[in-house]
Structure 1
């Protein structure tokens, strides 16, 4: 696995801490920002020319970090696990804690939260074994920062804020001013990210400004962190409708990201730039940056999927094998075989039933879409009910409002996260009382159910017509159709279709393959 990159002649054979640290720092900060592949080659050579175990470990973790920036999560995890073996073997508790936090981040990025939280807990336990107080507070602070990121993934921004506060308490105990400024910078950027989730724009500005100020006091500024800060500032100013300040910060972020191979950075910066140009109505620039965002996003998702398919299965298989005693496996083999055959039989039968139910759901959705423009005659019973029901508006007003609703359904304004009953009433030039009456009378739905079903049907149509949507994360799908969180999206999706989004996507892929 270790590459064959070479150090210069003047660097070969040097194993002293001073020389190693000099090359390590230059590679991690300067070269990595300009040329990731060259940085990886140098990192591999550092490993090959290292004698001490700690130097080898640091070189492996540098390679792991560089592959993570490149979006090659599988290799990143492999290098980190090699480093972890050295740390465990030599009882380097400081590095064992750091690696646990790093692996937790990688599994979180792959949305394998169970594995990630395992390493998160490991990091907390190992940190308690660190005797050197300054190292302990640094790693505990980093662990709580990572905890905050997990809470963000789950949409628990208040809990994330509390975890970031705990991290800040640990960083406050750092005595080295350079280190303290750097970790304050990372934590303030995290606070800014959390405040965006809480829609506290002014507080987010304060935290991002604090991050940039702390970073300015670090000897060598972190280009990646600076880029995230500028991107965050751009997002906040855009939300505050201060477009000049928004584009000023986004251009700074773009300048940094253009010289980087950091996929996560590109996804975030290009997404924010595309949102900016859409908001200001510059659709030619919006198209350029939306395409850049989609290219970076799809490449990132592709690499994540490859990492999951090719690596995680082997990790889980290895863990299962280690968890069983060989003799117990041999004894239970015949029983397991019978159980497996029975399970496969019932599983297949269950899948057939579910797939048939999926087809019925799709047929119903398609019929509903086709019948939107058709006028159906009301039953006698319904006409009688309509006669009895108290009218609150004229026939002409009611008919116009129905027609306006049909036009509204043809667009995508229902994907706006800010849509509400009063907002929709304003769009349709009516009042909430009339709108509620028409929705209840003619759609047999309240406002929330009406909007949510439009959103779900919209994203299903997207997945049917554009196969790239089948490979997106739930957070992207939920954002695309207007939900505030992927957990809300999943709950509504299941209530409308009877399937979880992941199950529905698998059946939709199967259905497409049958055609």
Structure 2
């Protein structure tokens, strides 16, 4: 009772303050709807009265609050954006940088949480940062730091992001145990729990699994059965399920994932829901390849189709579906999910190409410059060091961007080659069975068909791997002359002899690299000899010309695909 006394006194003073003319009506109006649940449209008659009063009195602080309430209680995402724009407009009419920063941050959270449009969200966060970087409002400062950390985590800068989330936790946690007003304690605990959740994601991707598990247990203990934090508990349960899966504890993983699914789904967080479905599918697959797993992988695709958003962690979802239908012999489904994988890569790459340089240029570099300015006042020598670091940082950023774009191009070409490989045998077969009827004019039909049958045997027996094979040698082996053989290959295969021979050899070695792991260990010279090409450089050039990717890049990507699987974070707002 003694601990509650400050709250009672605070409430009495608060009520006495708002009983004065001017503020009493705002307070009375808010008490009529502030206990409604989020997205409840019943609040709007009172909110509109609140907004109208603030407009009439040109009280921009209260007007911003009214629009923020409109965001919170609106069930429509489109209307949330409209209210957010109105809040920004009202904030700009005030002289408060904090108020403008709050309005921009609010809009960024809508883009991030309700739409998963990270590019738009980051733009708003950076605007909020510009207005609030010198703020004395600690809650606002750390709320912005949290969201910048979320974008860094999404881009894979886990170490940098983890340090940001640790700072947030150090700020929020003590306030959850202080004598602040219950509403402030609630907001700070939300900030603490979400920062803890993001730190778990960073730990998991940094390989700090013990730290991640300890943080998960802390999160579950902190949320308990408190209905105010049911969504946050859902996220911790999901983290627990993922941890169980990685320990091969599949049934335990399913139990935790199933418990987490409902609060996440109820809140409309489709990004986290797709992660939940993905790991449920993998856990079912771990239970003796349970066929139910495929239905969950398909649910991930359904969410992607609806929202045109997917987290990088879920790219493997399509690899699993493609391999499943490859084993089933269902080429139609193989092609569909290959197409979906290409779409997913396009969505992911657009975000990364935009976000990575922007956050470095407009946040990291600006932060460094601000620190540089401060240090210059203390020590002139420090300015040279900072300048050198900035130049080095910018140089590294440029190199990373160039490398990233090059890697994305190689990845795209690899995926296209993999798609071609799926239908390679059928395409090759159809090409081999092309008949003389398809040419406009040529030698006697029976002779052509006989020669085509010999060429088919030549292909099937892999005789094209002979070293030093020329059109004259092959003509002799097939019992014909080189001019006649050249004409038939040109008419029926659609290419000249050299191109025909090169395609056979490169397609042959490509199939071996796809199907037999041992060939991935061979050097380029050995692979060249295996398919009958004498020169290492000639082999590399032909491989690139036909497949669109260098053999060294292809082998690297193939090894990575077989041996490694990446995990990326998903996000949740404060």
Tell me, which stretches of 5 or more residues in structure 1 are unaligned? 1-6, 345-372, 376-405, 416-449, 487-515
Q: Equivalent residue of 2:563, what SS?
A: coil
> 2: distance between equivalents of 1:137 and 1:455?
57
Identify the residue that residue 210 of structure 1 maps to in structure 2.
259
- Deviation of the 1:127 alpha carbon: 1.1
Measured against aligned partners, the alpha-carbon deviations of 1:401-441 in whole angstroms (never above 9, x if no partner) come to: xxxxx9999244566xxxxxxxxxxxxxxxxxxxxxxxxxx
Q: Equivalent residue of 1:199, what SS?
A: coil
What are the within-5 Å matches in structure 2 for residues 22-421 of structure 1?
23-25=70-72, 31-32=76-77, 40=81, 43-49=84-90, 59-68=103-112, 73-83=118-128, 91-128=136-173, 130=175, 131=178, 132=180, 133-172=185-224, 175=226, 177=227, 179-215=228-264, 220-241=267-288, 244-264=291-311, 267=315, 270=318, 273-274=321-322, 276-278=324-326, 280-324=328-372, 325-326=375-376, 410-412=512-514
Normalised to the residue count of structure 1, the TM-score between the two structures is: 0.56
Change (3 A) 1:204 1:333: closer
Cα RMSD (Å): 5.0
Change (3 A) 1:111 1:212: closer
- Deviation of the 1:98 alpha carbon: 3.8
> 1: distance between equivalents of 2:204 and 2:287?
22
> 2: distance between equivalents of 1:301 and 1:477?
20
- Deviation of the 1:92 alpha carbon: 4.6
8 Å CA contact 1:238, 1:276 repeated in 2: no
Change (3 A) 1:58 1:322: closer
Q: Equivalent residue of 2:292, what SS?
A: helix
Change (3 A) 1:207 1:270: same
> 2: distance between equivalents of 1:139 and 1:469?
49
Structure with higher Rg: it is 2
> 1: distance between equivalents of 2:197 and 2:90?
34
- Deviation of the 1:146 alpha carbon: 1.2
- Deviation of the 1:197 alpha carbon: 3.0
- Deviation of the 1:125 alpha carbon: 2.4
- Deviation of the 1:84 alpha carbon: 5.0
8 Å CA contact 2:135, 2:141 repeated in 1: no
Question: How many residues align structurally?
Answer: 367
Identify the residue that residue 441 of structure 1 maps to in structure 2.
none
Change (3 A) 1:57 1:267: farther
> 2: distance between equivalents of 1:277 and 1:66?
38
Is 1:480 aligned to residue 533 of structure 2? no
> 2: distance between equivalents of 1:182 and 1:454?
51
> 1: distance between equivalents of 2:157 and 2:365?
15
8 Å CA contact 1:93, 1:129 repeated in 2: no
Identify the residue that residue 428 of structure 1 maps to in structure 2.
none
Identify the residue that residue 406 of structure 2 maps to in structure 1.
none
Q: Equivalent residue of 2:165, what SS?
A: helix
> 1: distance between equivalents of 2:342 and 2:550?
10
> 1: distance between equivalents of 2:145 and 2:104?
14
8 Å CA contact 2:81, 2:107 repeated in 1: yes
> 2: distance between equivalents of 1:412 and 1:112?
32
Change (3 A) 1:102 1:208: same
> 2: distance between equivalents of 1:19 and 1:148?
35
- Deviation of the 1:208 alpha carbon: 0.7
Q: Equivalent residue of 2:256, what SS?
A: helix
> 1: distance between equivalents of 2:345 and 2:550?
11
Change (3 A) 1:196 1:484: same
> 2: distance between equivalents of 1:298 and 1:469?
24
- Deviation of the 1:126 alpha carbon: 1.8
- Deviation of the 1:149 alpha carbon: 0.6
User: Which stretch of structure 1 is more off in the superposition, 294-303 or 202-211?
Assistant: 294-303
Measured against aligned partners, the alpha-carbon deviations of 1:229-248 in whole angstroms (never above 9, x if no partner) come to: 22322232234355542233
> 2: distance between equivalents of 1:252 and 1:145?
24
> 1: distance between equivalents of 2:68 and 2:384?
53
Normalised to the residue count of structure 2, the TM-score between the two structures is: 0.51
Q: Equivalent residue of 2:355, what SS?
A: helix
Q: Equivalent residue of 1:105, what SS?
A: helix
Tell me, which stretches of 5 or more residues in structure 2 are unaligned? 1-43, 55-61, 396-464, 468-507, 528-539, 568-574
Identify the residue that residue 360 of structure 1 maps to in structure 2.
none
Change (3 A) 1:91 1:85: farther
> 2: distance between equivalents of 1:469 and 1:43?
52
8 Å CA contact 1:71, 1:263 repeated in 2: no
Identify the residue that residue 358 of structure 1 maps to in structure 2.
none
Change (3 A) 1:228 1:76: same
Q: Equivalent residue of 1:263, what SS?
A: coil
